[in-house]
């Protein structure tokens, strides 16, 4: 693949100097920002290290949409298919968000900072613009903005140990999708137990660009004897774990139910997408697939066939060293979504046989 060209439009992060010094090998662009994709020559070394050790990830591209003001909860309730009424003050909620017709616009995590202040930690689409459109049209009393907040993720089985060395043992008590405010050099950071891997870990919401590298350096110094490394969301590990990627595995074409996220659609009151979702029962759904043979990079949608008829698509796929097959994520019609169904996947290098799985691998 070709180089990525530097430009201010493709934004550097607070951690980019550290990422560069660690010898980043590949980038993608996510929310107009650099996101490292690999440090080793391929994804495999990063993958093995992530599953056994601890990594520090520059995920500053998980930008926040800050919604603050007297109408903040009203606005959040309008856009959220998930019931926010029981959300605790230290809680994070995964809230797939939809338009009037139930089409997914993003799959962010909402973070409640105060009763009148929320962050929406977004996947790769400018969901700020939708929130702003609602606020502007209804003239709501809120400020909607992207603050200077850049998440830094600590992921891997040794995450608790590394974090405790920098932030103290209190990090060990943070529950899943909850956060605490903990100090580093006198500055309180919001730290949640969360992250885009199945290996456990934390996300630190770094709310000042200039604090990025001091924190990065402190984590590496504290973890010298633990083989801490710079890492990033790993393609193999995320597909093994069935972690969905907005823009890859689901788009505005899909409802949350199709994306297997129906359990997050439970708001009892009215919200913008409610009627639209009611009109769209899921006749296709996200599924795990094992694909046989050699496959090229999945950089485009692969059509899926059974008996010569189209029954779906594959959108993420990669060779898994630990499971000895090509792990894949696809959207499959109800006629073939049961475990054991045999289908064919049309890659740019030709047709491959595949089998539907009962669940993801990890």
Residue of 225, 279, 299, 359 that binds its own copies (CB under 8 A): 299
CA separation for the pair 97, 80 (Å, rounded): 6
Our finding on whether 350 is near its own copies (CB under 8 A) is no
The residue with tokens 């590949």 is 26
Q: Using CB under 8 A, pick the residue from 86, 88, 139, 324 that binds its own copies.
A: 139
Taking the least distance from each CB to its own copies, the nearer of 159 and 313 is 313
- For the record, the structure tokens of 303 come out as 């059509």
Q: Taking CB under 8 A as the rule, does residue 315 contact its own copies?
A: yes
Would you count residue 26 as binding its own copies (CB under 8 A)? yes
Tokens of 176: 């899943």
Residue 262's φ and ψ, nearest 5 degrees, are -60, -30
* Residue showing tokens 């140990």: 161
Query: Does position 27 bind its own copies by CB under 8 A?
Result: yes
Reported as type and span, the H/E element at residue 37 is strand 33-38
d(CA 112, CA 272): 21
Is 279 an interacting residue with respect to its own copies (CB under 8 A)? no
CB nearer to its own copies: pick between 143 and 351: 143
Choose, by CB under 8 A, the member of 9, 114, 279, 308 that binds its own copies.
9
Residue given tokens 């090509």 in the structure block: 326
Report how far residue 135's alpha carbon sits from residue 140's, in angstroms, rounded to the nearest whole number.
5
In whole angstroms, how close is the CB of 226 to its own copies at the nearest point? 26
Length of the chain: 362
Nearest distance from C-beta of residue 205 to its own copies, angstroms: 21
**Choice from 6, 268, 324, 340 touching its own copies (CB under 8 A):** 6
Euclidean distance between CA atoms 165 and 150, whole angstroms? 21
CA distance 38 to 42: 7
User: Does residue 298 bind its own copies (CB under 8 A)?
Assistant: yes
Contact range with its own copies by CB under 8 A, out of 99-107, 159-167, 281-289, 351-359: 99-107
In a 13 Å sphere around the CA of 334, the CA atoms on its Cβ side amount to 5
Residue 247, interface with its own copies (CB under 8 A)? yes
CA distance 124 to 269: 28
Decide if residue 136 touches its own copies (CB under 8 A).
yes
Question: Pattern 184-223, binding to its own copies, x per CB under 8 A?
Answer: ----------------------------------------
Do residues 308 and 316 make contact, with C-beta atoms less than 8 angstroms apart? no
* 245 is a contact residue toward its own copies (CB under 8 A): yes
- Return residues touching its own copies (CB under 8 A): 1-12, 24-30, 32, 36-38, 78, 99-100, 105, 124-139, 146, 245-248, 252, 272, 297-301, 315-316
């Amino acid at each position: 693949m070709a180089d990525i060209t530097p430009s201010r439009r493709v934004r550097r992060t607070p951690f980019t100097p550290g990422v560069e010094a660690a010898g980043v090998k590949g980038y993608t662009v996510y929310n107009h920002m650099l996101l490292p994709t690999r440090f080793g020559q391929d994804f495999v070394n990063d993958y093995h290290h992530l599953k056994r050790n601890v990594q520090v990830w520059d995920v500053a591209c998980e930008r926040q949409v800050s919604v603050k003001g007297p109408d903040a909860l009203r606005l959040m309730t309008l856009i959220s298919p998930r019931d926010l009424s029981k959300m605790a003050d230290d809680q994070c909620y995964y809230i797939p968000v939809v338009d009037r017709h139930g089409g997914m616009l993003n799959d962010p995590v909402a973070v409640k900072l105060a009763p009148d202040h929320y962050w929406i930690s977004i996947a790769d689409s400018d969901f700020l613009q939708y929130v702003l459109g609602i606020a502007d049209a209804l003239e709501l009393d809120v400020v909607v903005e992207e603050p200077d907040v850049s998440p830094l993720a600590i992921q891997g089985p040794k995450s608790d140990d590394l974090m405790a060395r920098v932030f103290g043992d209190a990090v060990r008590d943070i529950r899943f999708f909850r956060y605490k405010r903990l100090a580093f050099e006198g500055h309180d950071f919001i730290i949640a137990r969360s992250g885009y891997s199945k290996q456990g870990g934390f996300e630190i919401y770094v709310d000042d660009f200039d604090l990025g590298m001091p924190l990065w350096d402190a984590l590496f110094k504290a973890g010298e004897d633990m083989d801490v490394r710079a890492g990033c969301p790993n393609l193999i590990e995320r597909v093994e774990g069935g972690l969905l990627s907005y823009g890859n595995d689901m788009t505005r074409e899909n409802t949350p139910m199709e994306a297997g996220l129906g359990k997050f659609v439970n708001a009892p009151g009215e919200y913008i997408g409610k009627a639209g979702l009611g009109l769209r029962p899921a006749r296709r759904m996200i599924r795990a697939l094992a694909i046989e043979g050699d496959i090229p990079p999945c950089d485009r949608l692969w059509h899926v066939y059974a008996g010569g008829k189209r029954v779906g698509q594959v959108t993420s796929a990669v060779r898994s060293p630990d499971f000895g097959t090509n792990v894949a994520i696809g959207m499959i019609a109800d006629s073939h979504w049961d475990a054991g169904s045999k289908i064919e996947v049309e890659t740019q290098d030709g047709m491959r046989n595949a089998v539907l799985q009962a669940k993801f691998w990890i």
